[in-house]
Chain A
């Protein structure tokens, strides 16, 4: 898959998820490196600890190549019905979800190829899910 397609699809699914929470603000940033990229999404909707745990659980699904290469192709394409963070979860190398002072949450995703070098990004051990 061309990289820019993956950017568009992941951002689209993430935006779909955030917008379904009816926020007043949403910011999405993208940091690209040769072997990976970092997407950060911020909104202003307050969430409970349980909701944050659910976001993390969906995104922290361990690497599932058999699902990612088949069902994962729906990411960012088919937006009818509820948003599916787990489609993103199949693809990512690291995740961090945290509250921000303004009241919303910041969702950080690190995605990379086999040669992904976490050293190029602000990714820690916890975010890598290890």
Chain B
């Protein structure tokens, strides 16, 4: 129980810190104005909110979307667990480049309606509702990009959001079966599926949806500092659990971290529940710093999408990712980037390094060679998938990772089940 409380304090402090940083980074009125502007801004991939409205409004949007997710957990009487943290950090991460209060709420309502339709409680589908906000850009697209009159566009976008939420649970459950839990961003595959149909419908109606390309390269010290501060906060939370025996607390966290390294990470691997919150917090700090250092050494821009990638990694370090299962995948992505002569600083390859870690369970279960192969194939396919859904699915890497995992899992399953023993 104390461990769960620690996780709750951790995420609430992160949200409070982001809110204060957003409000204090500039003129408060301007920040609020920018925040409201983000709500009506096209949110399709790639819409870097730091380039659209600046750092302050973006951080405020991240904190607001995080609060929405937290309130949703509380309303559904759910604890802040490893899975909950993964969902919260994913929501916050994508609020740097696509998610807003406006486009998240209808989907969350729709998923809750879906639960009621099959006589379940909304809490049963709470994770699907939170991750399902990946389809947020569809709502913003209908409301503000289609050119409809506002009187029809706003209720229409809300209705489409609810409908999208209603179809999300059956799709999410069916897609799990395809890759068998080896793609951590399962909703990315489900949302990509929906996005594929909506983009095709739009194309059939004569309106092609082309992905956007808003990508900041400005150096913002505040954004560079966000992930190291979160990693430091994770360490402080470990120490705060047993303030009178700091050494022992850290030793226990290290022991549990080593245990996490032995796990495959296949869905659902709630490290905070299966091992301990301390070990999961240390894992989050280590992974956060590793990827932050990687981006610094690479000279990558610390913009909205890159920070979104790192937030998602921190979140999933409570729910499937650890250094041992992500590194082979990252190596595979890097080798593919260099082999095919891609520009590593372009959005797709750079984001694939971060989000391609959705395939970490393949490395965890079948070894680093399979993880490497998965990363390699992921880079190849993710380059094309965003065009298929017109940037409507924010988890484009989750979509590509789902396809990659399905391919690899099918081959391994066929080989294992048909060869003679």
Contacts and interface: CB of A to CB of B under 8 A. Distances in A.
A47 B172 CA distance: 37
A124 interface: no
Nearest to B78: A66
Interface residues of B, number: 35
24 contacts: A57-B274, A61-B273, A61-B274, A64-B83, A65-B78, A66-B78, A66-B127, A69-B115, A69-B124, A69-B125, A70-B127, A70-B176, A70-B268, A73-B173, A74-B176, A74-B267, A77-B177, A78-B176, A80-B180, A80-B409, A81-B366, A82-B264, A82-B365, A86-B274
Contacts, number: 73
A114 B173 CA distance: 23
A66 B180 contact: no
Contacts of A123: none
Interface residues of A, number: 21
A64 B126 CA distance: 11
A5 B303 CA distance: 48
B81 A64 contact: yes
Interface in B50-108: 76, 78, 81, 83-84
B123 to A, nearest CB: 5
Interface of A: 57-58, 61, 64-71, 73-74, 77-78, 80-82, 84, 86-87
Contact of B83 (A66, A73, A80, A84): A66
Interface of B: 76, 78, 81, 83-84, 115, 120-121, 123-128, 169, 172-173, 176-177, 180-182, 264, 266-268, 270, 273-274, 365-366, 409, 412-413, 416
A70 B172 contact: yes
Contact of A80 (B81, B270, B412): B412
A67 B128 contact: no
A74 B127 contact: no
A51 B365 CA distance: 20
A70 B125 contact: yes
A61 B271 CA distance: 12
B230 to A, nearest CB: 24
A66 B412 contact: no
